[in-house]
């Protein structure tokens, strides 16, 4: 009995040591719990377990008319140009590309859409709100063969009131293609928003239907934009995505891709607006 008791104590000690090495000593606490300690944390973060890590693949160079769009996760995409310029949308501290982008856009609504510690190697960090609180953010940046500008929108504040100009839709112009990332859009688009956006070839839009605009409202936004490529994001594991796809069944064709990256050109865009689903969450 004494021997068995001793062995039990040894096993327990080894287990505790491994637990410490695997979790406590390396600081791998659950992101959801870590985020709950942050000021301004909202329930949106509850769906996160660990930050998404993607393989740092070496991708082929792009032809002069091509762009590469990669879904990193949540609301973060990378957009690459033939000249090698890379932008990351809704850059944050939980889900981010492994390679440092040249341009990072951010939004205010939740901490999963902005970063308190952006990589110092980023050349242009563009918050979608005015940090001074004076008015709307105003960005129009050209780097190499990419132009990035913003169109301000409103968001619901934590107290359920309206935070005017607290969000931005970001527009990325590369060659003949125009890509719009709708960010954390909370309301239908007005004529002024549509004029400011201009022609949109590719739209990246949230489909959760609760933290952002409801799905019926988002469908109306998409009908108005008439982008030839529509890529859903912000769908929390898939149930809200499938609900959205059921709502749009028969309205637009849907293509599901096996890889998170697609290469697009103006001349090869679908003939009619098409939903393209990239793997992610």
Host H or E run for residue 247: helix 239-247
Whole-model pTM? 0.80
Q: Domain boundaries in the chain?
A: 1-37, 50-277
- 272 three-class SS: coil
Q: Where are the beta strands (DSSP E) in the chain?
A: 66-73, 76-80, 86-88, 103-106, 124-127, 140-143, 146-156, 162-174, 177-181, 202-206, 229-233, 254-256, 261-265, 274-277
- 104 three-class SS: strand
What pLDDT is attached to residue 58? 53
Cα dihedral 193/132/35/38 (nearest 10)? -150
CB 207 within 8 A of CB 215: yes
What pLDDT is attached to residue 144? 97
Q: What number of helices (H) and strands (E) belong to the chain?
A: 5, 14
What pLDDT is attached to residue 44? 65
The Cα-based distances of 221 to 131, 182, 202, 216, 274 in angstroms read 28, 10, 13, 9, 14
What pLDDT is attached to residue 16? 36
Query: Which residues lie across from 73 on neighbouring strands?
Result: 76
**Binned average pLDDT, 10 residues per bin, the chain of 281 residues:** 39 36 28 26 48 50 94 96 97 92 92 91 96 90 98 80 86 98 94 96 93 93 97 88 94 96 96 95 71
What pLDDT is attached to residue 32? 26
Query: How many angstroms separate the CA atoms of 13 and 201, rounded?
Result: 60
CB 101 within 8 A of CB 122: yes
50-277 belongs to CATH 3.40.50.720: no
Closest CA to 48 of 122, 113, 139: 113
Beta-strand pair 146-156/140-143? antiparallel
């Amino acid at each position: 009995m004494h021997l068995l008791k001793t062995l039990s104590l040894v096993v327990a000690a080894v287990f505790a040591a491994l637990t410490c090495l695997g979790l406590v000593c390396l600081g791998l606490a659950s992101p959801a719990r870590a985020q709950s300690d942050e000021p301004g944390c909202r329930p949106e973060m509850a769906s996160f377990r660990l930050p998404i890590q993607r393989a740092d693949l070496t991708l082929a160079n792009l032809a002069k008319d091509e762009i590469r769009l990669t879904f990193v996760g949540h609301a973060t995409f990378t957009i690459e140009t033939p000249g090698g310029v890379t932008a990351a949308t809704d850059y944050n501290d939980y889900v981010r590309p492994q390679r440092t982008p040249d341009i990072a856009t951010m939004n205010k609504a939740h901490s999963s859409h902005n970063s308190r510690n952006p990589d110092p190697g980023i050349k242009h960090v563009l918050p979608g709100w005015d940090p001074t609180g004076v008015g709307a953010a105003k960005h129009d940046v050209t780097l190499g063969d990419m132009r990035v500008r913003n169109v301000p929108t409103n968001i619901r504040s934590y107290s359920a009131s309206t935070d005017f100009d607290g969000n931005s839709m970001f527009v990325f112009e590369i060659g003949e293609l125009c890509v719009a990332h709708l960010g954390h859009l909370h309301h239908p688009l007005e004529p002024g928003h549509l004029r400011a956006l201009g022609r949109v070839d590719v739209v990246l839009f949230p489909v959760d239907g609760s933290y952002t605009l409801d799905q019926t409202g988002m469908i109306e936004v998409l009908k108005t934009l008439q982008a030839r490529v529509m890529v859903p994001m912000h769908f929390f594991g898939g149930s809200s995505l499938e609900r959205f796809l059921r709502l749009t069944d028969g309205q637009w064709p849907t293509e599901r891709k096996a890889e998170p990256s697609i290469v697009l050109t103006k001349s090869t865009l679908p003939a009619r607006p098409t939903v393209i689903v990239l793997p992610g969450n």
